[in-house]
């Protein structure tokens, strides 16, 4: 059986925390450049120019892209042939977050209790989603999530008879109501199916897909395009100043549903759509 | 697009010269405050006690920066969502605040108060914290250091870019923008 030390995970996580907050992925940068070409509104263009310049400054001067360096969210696919030594996975990741956020001068945005609201001072605990998979590899995905866009998220238990139109109405209306709050241009993660908790996770997972990579099923790839068109027809535009580009992409993830249910979820990400991945 | 230069503190005339959609470059001293600091300021105002900063003519920036590295003035410093401050903003405007900088929607009470007390709501680009930090030339904590990133900082800014969202005449760029581009 392959062994991985907890300290290896910690080091890796610390690196990922810094990397994600300093370097925006090429997929997002390309989408932003394309948006600048497509945007018609002068104010919207100006916003996109500032956003692209910001990405360059963050990279060259090592200043976090956004001051909200997020809740530390991890997706771990753990190969069942791998044995972790020297500590628990949860503690190894949390220690990595502590180190990464301290050494990277990243913001500590987590309070220990949702109502008492005292800052934990080290940005822990992380939110960790782990699944066991076949094989002897471990894949860790880190996607820090800002509060502004996370707050603009919703789950709705639709009726099966609401169908595809019900899902479209829910998603488009939700984006309309969110307006300028989630720092448009946004990336829209949509979950359809499963249960109440599963659909929220689907919507979040949808945000991990490289931007612009369509859903493998043509039906859902078309639905993504339709949603993107309808969202961009809202006219919210970059930062809500009015314009053509409200969303850079819409990604859908689905799961089988109960005969009585049609759950749908929207998880909005801002243009600072951070996600890094490592395989060990 | 014309760009207007603003020097803080702001007068009523400065505010009345601004229209929704204007681009501005702000220079001078501004103060930061987010949720926790707003709550404390509002409690002091309600009790009639003196505030740690004089709000007359002031600009409040809703920001919780990342920690500064050694040798840096401030870390990444972009705006946070303004709606969370809606509850307190009319009170601060009444105390003389002339402008606030954030991002995102404001409620009807804030828009009314901007008209009544002659104030403006400005937006900086959310998610442009690295770029905006370069326009901040000095930074010091002036109140509530125990709040960490949520403390009140006195910032000196030079050509800090923002856009007028709600002016003192009741105009709203978020509404006008959508009207112009929705289809
Ligand atoms: S929504 Fe995104 S870009 Fe906007 S402040 Fe939050 S993390 Fe930054």
Chain A from 134 to 193: CB within 8 A of any B CB: 147-148, 151, 179-181, 183
Distance A182 CA to ligand 1 centre (A): 7
Structure confidence at residue B147 (pLDDT): 87
Give CA–CA dist A208/A74, Å, rounded: 11
Would you write out chain A's pLDDT as a tens digit for each of its 280 residues?
A: 899 999 999 999 999 999 999 999 999 999 999 999 999 999 999 999 999 999 999 999 999 999 999 999 999 999 999 999 999 999 999 999 999 999 999 999 999 999 998 899 999 999 999 999 999 999 999 999 999 999 999 999 999 999 999 999 999 999 999 999 999 999 999 999 999 999 999 999 999 999 989 999 999 999 999 999 999 999 999 999 999 999 999 999 999 999 999 999 999 999 999 999 999 9
* pLDDT (average), residues B28-57: 95
Can you give the residue range of the structural domain that contains B157? 3-182
Closest to B117 in 3D by CA, of B141, B102, B98, B139: B98
Ligand 1 atom index nearest CA of A70: 7
| 8 Å CB contact of B126 and A183 | yes
Residue having the nearest C-alpha atom to atom 8 of ligand 1: B127
| A67 vs B23, B64, B179: nearest CB | B64
**Total number of domains in chain B:** 1
The per-residue pLDDT for range A182-196, each reduced to its tens digit, is 999 999 999 999 999
Please give the structure tokens belonging to residue B164: 């007028």
Please give the structure tokens belonging to residue A147: 């509060």
> Where does ligand 1 bind, in terms of residues with CB under 6 Å?
A 66, 68, 146, 148-149, 182-183, 270, 272; B 78, 126-127
C-alpha A270, offset from chain centre: 8
| 8 Å CB contact of A107 and B1 | no
C-alpha dihedral sign at B158, B159, B162, B164: positive
The per-residue pLDDT for range B3-16, each reduced to its tens digit, is 999 999 999 999 99
CATH of the domain at B126: 3.20.130.10
The per-residue pLDDT for range B91-150, each reduced to its tens digit, is 999 999 999 999 999 999 999 999 999 999 999 999 999 999 999 999 999 999 988 888
Closest to B79 in 3D by CA, of B98, B58, B99, B108: B99
| B181 vs A63, A242, A271: nearest CB | A242
Distance B80 CA to ligand 1 centre (A): 7
Structure confidence at residue B96 (pLDDT): 96
Q: Where are the domains of chain A?
A: 2-20+65-144, 147-274
The per-residue pLDDT for range A212-263, each reduced to its tens digit, is 899 999 999 999 999 999 999 999 999 999 999 999 999 999 999 999 999 9
């Amino acid at each position: 059986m392959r062994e991985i030390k907890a300290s290896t995970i910690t080091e890796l996580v610390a690196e990922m925390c810094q990397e994600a907050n300093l370097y925006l992925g090429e997929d997002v940068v390309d989408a932003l450049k394309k948006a600048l070409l497509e945007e018609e509104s002068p104010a919207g263009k100006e916003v996109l120019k500032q956003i692209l310049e910001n990405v360059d400054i963050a990279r060259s001067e090592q200043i976090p892209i956004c001051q909200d360096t997020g809740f530390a969210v991890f997706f771990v696919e753990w190969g069942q042939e791998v044995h972790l030594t020297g500590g628990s996975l949860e503690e190894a990741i949390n220690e990595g977050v502590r180190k990464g956020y301290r050494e990277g001068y990243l913001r500590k945005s987590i309070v220990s209790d949702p109502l008492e609201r005292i800052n934990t001072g080290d940005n822990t605990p992380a939110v960790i989603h782990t699944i066991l998979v076949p094989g002897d590899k471990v894949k860790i995905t880190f996607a820090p999530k800002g509060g502004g866009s996370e707050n603009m998220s919703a789950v709705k238990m639709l009726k099966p008879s609401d169908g595809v139109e019900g899902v479209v109405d829910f998603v488009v209306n939700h984006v309309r109501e969110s307006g300028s709050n989630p720092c448009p241009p946004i990336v829209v993660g949509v979950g359809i199916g499963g249960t109440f908790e599963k659909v929220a996770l689907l919507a979040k997972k949808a945000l991990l897909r490289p931007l612009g990579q369509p859903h493998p099923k043509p039906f859902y790839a078309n639905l993504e395009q339709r949603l993107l068109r309808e969202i961009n027809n809202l006219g919210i535009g970059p930062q809500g100043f009015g314009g053509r580009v409200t969303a850079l992409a819409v990604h859908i993830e689905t799961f089988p549903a109960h005969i009585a249910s049609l759950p749908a979820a929207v998880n909005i990400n801002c243009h600072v759509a951070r996600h890094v991945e490592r395989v060990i | 697009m014309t760009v207007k230069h603003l020097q803080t503190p702001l007068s009523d005339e400065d505010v009345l010269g601004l229209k929704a959609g204007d681009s501005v470059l702000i220079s001078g001293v501004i103060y930061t405050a987010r949720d926790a600091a707003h709550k404390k300021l509002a409690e002091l105002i309600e009790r009639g006690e003196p505030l740690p900063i004089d709000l007359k003519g002031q600009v409040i920036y809703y920001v919780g920066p990342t920690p500064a590295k050694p040798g840096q003035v401030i870390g990444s410093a972009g705006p946070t969502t303004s709606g969370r401050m809606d509850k307190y903003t009319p009170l601060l405007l009444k105390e003389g605040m002339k402008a606030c900088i954030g991002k995102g929607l404001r409620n009807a009470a804030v828009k009314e108060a901007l008209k009544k007390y002659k104030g403006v709501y400005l937006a900086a680009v959310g998610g442009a914290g690295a770029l905006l930090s370069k326009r901040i030339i000095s930074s010091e904590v002036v109140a509530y250091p125990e709040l960490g990133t949520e403390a009140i900082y006195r910032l000196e800014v030079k050509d800090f870019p923002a856009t007028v969202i709600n002016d003192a005449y009741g105009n709203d760029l978020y509404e006008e923008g959508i009207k112009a581009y929705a289809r």
